[in-house]
Copies of this chain bind each other. A is one copy, B any other.
Amino acid sequence: MPDRPDLAAMIVPLGRTLMAIELPILESHGLTMWAYGVLLGLEESPVRTQSALAQSIGADKTRIIPTLDDLQDRGFITRTPDPADRRARLLSLTPEGRKVRDTAQAAIHQREDELLSALSADDRRGFLRALQQLSDRENAAPPAPVPPRHSRG
């Protein structure tokens, strides 16, 4: 018997739980998971192309288009053709977009903190530090394009 369960066996269900926590909060702000992901993705570097944005948030470029349409319609993002290359679209957050994003994220973090409060201060610190390190390391590595859940034999 191993000294610990597989990491994936612990982390994947935990990820699902965290998403289950996020979903109702996002819905209450009129956001889908992908819409929220887009708002987060635009925060870091204000303008980009849709493909780059899609890749940075682990999505297919075709997949986020309805989301972008919706966010634009609701005034949360702007999407203007790049004068220098009119094929590309310059994306950025509007103040309203930033506001929903921040409000939703604050609510999410609050719920997450409740979850983390079950841990000792030391463990919580180690957990968050480790998570951020592993996460950074990921973003440096090849951005694995959403592998299939499993393959049939």
Chain A residues engaging chain B, CB cutoff 8 angstroms? 1-2, 4-23, 27, 30-35, 40, 43, 58, 66, 70, 105-106, 108-109, 112, 115-116, 118-119, 122-135, 137-138, 141, 144, 146-147, 149-153
Evaluate contact between A134 and B20: CB separation under 8 angstroms: no
Residues of B within 8 A of A23 (CB): 147, 150-151
Ordered by A's residue number, 12 sampled pairs between the chains whose C-beta atoms are within 8 Å are A6-B18, A6-B22, A8-B21, A13-B58, A13-B135, A17-B141, A123-B133, A124-B130, A126-B129, A127-B127, A127-B130, A127-B131
The SS class assigned to the A binding surface is helix
Evaluate contact between A15 and B6: CB separation under 8 angstroms: no
Number of copies of this protein chain within its complex: 2
